[in-house]
Structure 1
Amino acid sequence: MNPKPERARRRYTSPLREEAARRTRTTIRDAAARLFVREGYVSTTVRHIAEEAGVAVRTVFSAFPGGKAEIFREALDHAVAGEDDRQPAGGSGSGHSEEPVSDVDLVVEQVVGYGAAMLERAGGLLMTSVESSGADPDMRRFAADDARATAENARTLAEGFGHAGWLREDVTVEHAADVLFTLSSPQVHALLRRDCGWDVDQYRQWLARTLRTTLLRGGEGGAGQSSARSSR
């Protein structure tokens, strides 16, 4: 019988090692995101990701045991959230105003600004999932999840506009939700920004003007028409 009590094993942790692992994971994620957007999901292999990131293939699997699908999920989540996902979704986060938001133009500016910024970060990856959905079940699931979340957000916004009395008399909440779903889609963003070559300011202005003129009371005049006149 051993008179000495058995010593509990200590788990050794190193902050430097953990930081190095985090940086490696970030490098792999960012390299994969570039490849997914540039080459497509199906054409991008783990070996390609390793080469782009400058690491060994086994390092990729050590950082992401789930392989490509896990890397894509983390890259997409990071892009959607942005660098600081703690910022309120509806504004600059300055927190100086204590007045409730009641101006329809301010709400439109916030909705368009947040949506455009998110698509500038994540639109490429979202389109990757859409364009690869026919060939890969993971991409099909990601595309369906995003479409469902976008539809839910559009419905929430449409209901808010309706409750505030801002919708035109001939526009139902259901119709407004469909229009908002379309306007905020990565497909429309890609068509105008990537295929038509619009700059981001053109895209934002068009989005705000279209939202006002198609859905909101007084949208045919005011800020919507003045913006159109000033661009002629």
Structure 2
Amino acid sequence: MTLEAPTDRRKRRTHAAVLDAAQVLFLREGYRRTTIDLLAGEADVAVSSIYANFVEGKADVYAALAWRIATRHAEAMSAPIEGSAPRREVAAVFDRYVAFHRENPLALRLLALTDVDVSESESAARAKKQIDDVLGGLIESFSAAVELAGCDVESRALVLISWAAVNGAYSLYQRRMVDEATLNVMLGIARADLLEHVGGQDEA
């Protein structure tokens, strides 16, 4: 199975429907409680159609969904930022990272392949490598933007600690250890901490 959508139109529709259903069910029920029958019902497809597209079943669905989220993450983070001063560009990239995770509450689990052992499916192992490559590219791109803006610490380390702060804040929020107001305060602190190390005095 490839992680990308099939070229055949009918298979592509089934592929997309199953991934859309998985995104709903994995968030609502969790990966372990989601069954192939539940997926088929939510996607309005036959169980046999799921296995025709995802040979190893649920683990392959999870891997393909993780890859779809990774590609959307890359697209959201990599879109051009027109006419921004370097410091504002750093702030805008940080804001996009925050917005992506706000809009995709499963992203942290999916991108880490938290719920599936890569030994469960060849697709999961392939997804892990491809996702690691995508995330590595985003880190390097963001680090380059920080470097261009001027930075008083090692740029890659600054990017990683800012992303870790966002990830940690969202993880606490998803576990209901903090409310949304506290989450927003934490994200604001993480943003301010990042920009404190970035050169320039323009508004960000």
How does the TM-score come out when normalised to structure 2?
A: 0.67
- Of residues 90, 100, 121, the one that matches 1:108 is 90
Find out whether 1:158 has 2:139 as its counterpart: no
- Point out the structure with the larger helix share: 2
1:72-116 residue CA offsets vs partner (Å, 9 max, x unmatched): 23323333444994995243xxxxx5x5x4341x21332123212
Structure 1: tracts of 5 or more residues without a match:
1-17, 92-96, 225-232
**Is 1:132 aligned with 2:122?**
no
1:50 aligns to what? 40
**SS class of match (2:164):** helix
Matched-pair contact (CA < 8 Å) for 1:90–1:111:
no
Distance 1:29 1:115, change over 3 A: same
Residue 167 of structure 1: aligned partner: 151
Q: Give the structure with higher Rg (CA).
A: 1
TM-score by length of 1: 0.60
Q: Match for residue 195 of structure 2?
A: 212
2:171 is aligned to 190
Contact 1:154 1:181 in 2 (8 A): no
Instruction: Give the alignment of 1:22-61 within 5 angstroms.
Output: 22-61=12-51
Q: Contact 2:101–2:107 (CA<8 Å) still a contact in 1?
A: no
Q: Percent same amino acid among aligned pairs?
A: 18
Deviations 1:165-187 (A, max 9, x none): x213xx233532431341353x4
TM-superposed deviation, 1:124: 0.7
Q: Which amino acid aligns with 1:59?
A: S
Aligned-pair Cα RMSD in Å? 3.9
Q: 1:131 to 1:77 in 2, by over 3 A?
A: closer
Alpha-carbon contact 1:112-1:204 (below 8 Å) kept: no
Question: How many residue pairs end up in the alignment?
Answer: 191
Aligned to 2:66: 76
Shift of 1:197: 3.0
What SS does the aligned partner of 1:73 have? helix
1:176 aligns with 2:158: yes
Q: Compare relative contact order (CA 8 Å, sep 6+) and give the higher one, 1 or 2.
A: 2
Whether the 8 Å contact between 1:37 and 1:125 is mirrored in structure 2 is: no
Give how far 1:149 is off.
4.5
